Amino acid sequence: MPITPREASDRIRQYCRLAPVIPVLVVEDARHARPLAEALVAGGLPVLEITLRTPAALEAIAAMAQVAGGIVGAGTLLGPEEVRAAREAGAKFGVSPGVTDGLLGAAEEAGLPLLPGAATATEAMRLLERGYSVQKFFPAEAAGGAAALRALGAPLPQIAFCPTGGITAQNAPDYLSLLNTLCVGGSWVAPKKLVHAEDWAAIEALARQAAALARQARAH
């Protein structure tokens, strides 16, 4: 069933409010998908982004979609083909580094709520004009960091962001303290070394630390 940009942003806003961090995951072995998702959800991070950067990504999305309490989305959506594949795999939302009219149209037609990427005021305004009031600020650190995102908030207070790209446990509170930031996206909660070692307990511990960042940001 198709979705409007306004409906898409409302859904994404709900997801972003569930936890301060959305793990950005690159899954190379689909066998790791389910236990990885279970560890992150148990640690308090229910919203997961699987980037479509590996051959195992779609299979990983399908496996993670079966984990109770998890909300799995597909990242690195570039065009209609990825949108359709992600939807068929069971993704509940999509994330893109930037946007094209073709990508936006495909996501809306497929009923896939999209978190579209923007790095400049012009890009953010074009998305807002179409109806997207929740956007991804990417690449966050390279685009000026928390200071740049704060500056965007002055003329564009009606837009809320999920910054990703260079976000770490150390700088996440800088972003989370901003009025126009709903949550952040980051890969540090599931480092490749721990995934390959199948150390799910350590990943759950990192997730718990990340889930507590909202409290730290409020005191920032």
Cα separation of 31 and 59, whole Å?
9
Residue with tokens 């446990």: 169
Q: Kindly name the residue from 38, 82, 136, 204 that is annotated as catalytic.
A: 136
One-letter amino acid identity for 15?
Y
Three-state secondary-structure class, residue 189: coil
Q: Kindly name the residue from 38, 49, 82, 108 that is annotated as catalytic.
A: 49
User: Is 49 labeled as catalytic in the residue annotation?
Assistant: yes
Closest CA to 161 of 170, 169, 151, 171: 151
User: Is 136 labeled as catalytic in the residue annotation?
Assistant: yes
Cα separation of 167 and 172, whole Å?
6
Q: Which element (helix H / strand E) includes 184? A: strand 184-186
Q: What number of CA atoms fall less than 13 Å from residue 133's CA on the CB side?
A: 11
Dig out the tokens for 198 from the structure.
Answer: 């199948």
Question: Annotated active-site positions, please?
Answer: 49, 136
